[in-house]
Chains A and B, each alone.
Chain A
């Protein structure tokens, strides 16, 4: 069965960076992409960006450009999302979700369990 297993909760200080991992199993990693979505406490869903599992092509939300980097390691079927220069309003649960391989233009059919990132001094 398809599974996306994310790394554990993190607490970071303002200005620091966080790197969240998402290990995929149960499907061919390079046949799909991964989108990252975050959810601030009590708030809705915000798409952060997408990465192809095949060639590493990315598409980032413009508001995060310059602060976010998404990567993959195909040998371990793992996707990573790094967010830099953290601020208190980056406090959220971060989700990875399976996406189409070549485009953002498709539904997100499997989701990781979420990783809580708390930014606090």
Chain B
């Protein structure tokens, strides 16, 4: 199984500041034949299902604010929130869909400082 490891486990950032969450996979999730990274990011608020933010490592889902961006390739990925808003308080998960079983990171809890 591909193990997804996120860092940090929790993060407190001031409103308007940048938040950065890292995700590392135990093996590459880059499919060289199409040069796509099979990596997504989700946001989960309390009592709600996860919401897709980013897929193919850097493609923003329709309707997601442009302060959210994804980057990275191979085994190392980053989710960046450029200017934290109060509504961004949530747990964030990375997910690989390169291989079965699909696996998620353990989650990063983002709070306001």
Q: Which residues of A contact B (CB under 8 A)?
A: 35, 37, 44-47, 50, 59, 61-62, 95, 97, 104-114
Are B106 and A44 in contact (CB-based, < 8 A)? Answer: yes
Are B93 and A44 in contact (CB-based, < 8 A)? Answer: yes
Are B52 and A107 in contact (CB-based, < 8 A)? Answer: yes
Question: Which chain B positions have C-beta within 8 A of A47?
Answer: 101-104
Binary A-proximity of B87-112 (CB < 8 A = 1, otherwise 0): 00000010101101111111100000
Can you name 4 extra interface pairs (CB under 8 A) apart from A104-B100, A106-B55?
A44-B93, A45-B107, A108-B40, A109-B55
Question: Which chain A positions have C-beta within 8 A of B49?
Answer: 95, 97, 111-114
B68 at the interface (CB under 8 A from A): no
Q: Which residues of B contact A (CB under 8 A)?
A: 38, 40, 42, 49-52, 55-56, 61, 93, 95, 97-98, 100-107
Cβ-defined partner of A108 (8 Å) among B52, B100, B103, B106? B52
Question: Which chain B positions have C-beta within 8 A of A35?
Answer: 102
Are A44 and B107 in contact (CB-based, < 8 A)? Answer: yes
Main secondary structure on A side of the interface with B = loop
Nearest CB on B from A50, distance (A): 8
The 10 closest A-B pairs by CB, nearest first: A111-B49, A107-B55, A47-B102, A45-B104, A107-B40, A61-B101, A44-B107, A109-B52, A44-B106, A105-B97
Question: Which chain A positions have C-beta within 8 A of B56?
Answer: 107
Are B40 and A59 in contact (CB-based, < 8 A)? Answer: no
Cβ-defined partner of A106 (8 Å) among B42, B97, B101, B106? B97
Are A45 and B93 in contact (CB-based, < 8 A)? Answer: yes
Question: Which chain B positions have C-beta within 8 A of A109?
Answer: 52, 55, 61
Question: Which chain B positions have C-beta within 8 A of A50?
Answer: 102
Task: Give Cα A104 to B97, complex, Å.
Answer: 7
Nearest CB on A from B37, distance (A): 12
Are A59 and B52 in contact (CB-based, < 8 A)? Answer: no
CB-nearest residue of chain A relative to B61?
A: A109
Task: Give Cα A23 to B98, complex, Å.
Answer: 27
Task: Give Cα A44 to B40, complex, Å.
Answer: 15
Question: Which chain B positions have C-beta within 8 A of A59?
Answer: 100
